[in-house]
């Protein structure tokens, strides 16, 4: 289980990450590009992922992971925060940040 505050802390711990309210939702960005969106009720989050990662996560645990509405066709995955493993979500958010950040900035983060 992960709380909305824990998700916020994970996302904002990454270099140059910032939170901005957009569409009534908390969005987490790096240099203006979104890598995580938390739902208004803070029960789910959509996280940027590859289509392969999305398929693996949904197959592994369909009660926790689903194809995200609207952005799922690009690989985004929707996560039920109350069911999410904190370590797995940390890895997923870090991976989303790496996919979104410019290459030079992404290179400043600890190796995967």
C-alpha dist (Å) from residue 10 to 47, 56, 63: 12, 22, 22
pLDDT in tens, 32-63: 999 999 999 999 999 999 999 999 999 999 99
String of DSSP letters for 13-47: TSTTEEEEEETTEEEEEETTEEEEEE-TTSSEEEE
pLDDT at 112 (0 to 100):
58
String of DSSP letters for 50-95: -HHHHHHHHHH-TTTEEEPTTTGGGT-EEEEGGG--HHHHHHHHHH
The arithmetic mean of pLDDT across residues 67-96, rounded, is 96
Q: What is the CATH code for 4-103?
A: 3.90.1150.30
Q: Where are the domains of the chain?
A: 4-103
C-alpha dist (Å) from residue 25 to 34, 82, 87: 12, 18, 24
Q: What pLDDT band is residue 76 in, cutting at 50, 70 and 90? A: very high
């Amino acid at each position: 289980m992960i709380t909305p505050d824990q998700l916020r802390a994970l996302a904002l711990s990454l270099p140059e990450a910032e939170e901005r309210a957009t569409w009534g939702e908390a969005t987490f960005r790096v240099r203006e590009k979104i890598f995580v969106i938390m739902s208004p009720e803070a029960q789910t989050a959509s996280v940027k992922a590859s289509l392969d990662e999305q398929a693996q996560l949904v197959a592994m645990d369909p009660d926790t992971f689903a194809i995200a509405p609207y952005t799922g066709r690009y690989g985004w995955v929707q996560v039920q925060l109350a069911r999410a493993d904190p370590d797995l979500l940390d890895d997923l958010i870090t991976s989303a940040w790496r996919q979104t950040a410019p290459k030079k900035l992404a290179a400043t983060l600890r190796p995967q």
